[in-house]
Structure 1
């Protein structure tokens, strides 16, 4: 597997980044997408967020800040310096974009960021940390090394992935509580987040 520094280097070199989440996205998939998008846009990068399916995404997930521009599409947008998959345990989890992403992998410009134990690394650069409870958790040190400044929107997106992928903190490491506490310092309405993402689903 690749190091955080390799991922950060690839992101720093790219002027434009297309972010891909898995089909039938959950809060960690869209939260990871939003976390990375908001962080990269803070650094002046051009971004686009896509999901490879031809049916709508669940409405309640759009309560996560930064997801307002997520598109469903049957083909991978062209012309981006870098393609980053988030929360995709395998290439086929990218749905209708898998074939186009395979071509991008052959070109050498795909980064895979994930936390699933089933993921053996299908990208050219792979950051897969199976000790992390969510992909948003994997992204935390990436944003830090990129020099991204956390704010309420990024904290909300990261928290969304963490709270849902731990079953409201019923399983995971002690570190998940430390990260949650750090994110809550940005004024998150955690009760409303739970209502939006779990109680209303």
Structure 2
């Protein structure tokens, strides 16, 4: 019975802990020598270590900018001041291929739907704060970082995919144009 009680107590304690709780991190390194402005080598607990310390606000901001720029490069569109993106380049290429003067049949070749990876801004709470109307969204920092790392991976894959599709379309268009000019 004591084992059961102990196991239950441990399970309750484990359930109470959260990966989102802020915790103190010991960054003290003895005999530290700088490698870069935010990294050092030195001794910690008797072991030689390399330690890199970053400000998470900067890391998140850089990651978000990288993801939004990558999404603009891949998809463009109204979200990104009507930048065409690789999606638009592919659409234009397929439109040119369909034109009769270029040997096309006048029917637009199918282009898949533009599907953004990142979500539009959403506010989980709308209300007032000191007499101003505000919208607030909150999420755990680690969850947001994980989400943007995932967005980045997906967008890198799609960038490669669209670059290939654009290149294939351009090659087919050149071949089709040459064939049409010979006729």
TM-score, shorter chain, exceeding 0.5:
no
Q: Which has the higher helix share?
A: 2
Q: TM-score, normalised by structure 1?
A: 0.21
Q: TM-score, normalised by structure 2?
A: 0.23
**Structure number, greater radius of gyration:** 2
